[in-house]
Structure 1
Amino acid sequence: MRIFHIATLADWEAAQASGAYTTSTRGVTLEEEGFIHASRADQWEGVRSAFYADVAEPLVLLEIDTDLLGAPVVEEPPAPDVAETYPHVYGAIAPRAVVAVTRL
């Protein structure tokens, strides 16, 4: 399965250098949140509009092959009062699991 994650270019470049992507969402680490927020193909544009519209630094869309992840992916709502589910990655993302990177 393919899932998507919006990242700053700086965070993605740091992940490539270190061998692990560990940013959960804008300004929050995997360690702080417990998982990395992701989206399905039909969700990422809404996430970009809602949470990244005011970001001035370069953004990239990471396309992740879940078969290449070494961490579980769980579909769950982002908050108790939200019915729609999103994929959450419960661990770091190895750069090798990112099969495409698109500049936004």
Structure 2
Amino acid sequence: MTDDEAYYADGAGRGLAKKFELQAYDLRAYLKKFENETGEEAISDGFGLLTESDEVRNAYVEYSTTAASAMKAVHEHLDAIADALRKVNKNTEVNDDETAVLFGKGSGGGK
């Protein structure tokens, strides 16, 4: 095979999609844990209800909310990549099967 030839290894797309899916799943689990440990209620419990602590508490709540939002965006992006890779893999397999039939191989060619 030369550098100009295209090659798609069997199962490569499925494996890569699965890796992205697992990363998205792990990140979602970390996000839930992060939200539980740093959500507004947890932060308020840590600072108490002192008037002097409101500004600091609000800053921590804002930071926590922003961080959770960013983690959620990354999670959704990883999930979308996994979905796209699964679609590419499916389309590639269908195309390979149809091409094989054209050359007399596979289910339609009898060889």
Decide: shared fold, TM above 0.5: no
| TM-score, normalising length: structure 1 | 0.18
Which structure's CA Rg is the greater one? 2
Greater strand fraction, Structure 1 or Structure 2 = 1
Q: Normalising by structure 2, what TM-score?
A: 0.18
- Structure with the larger helix share: 2
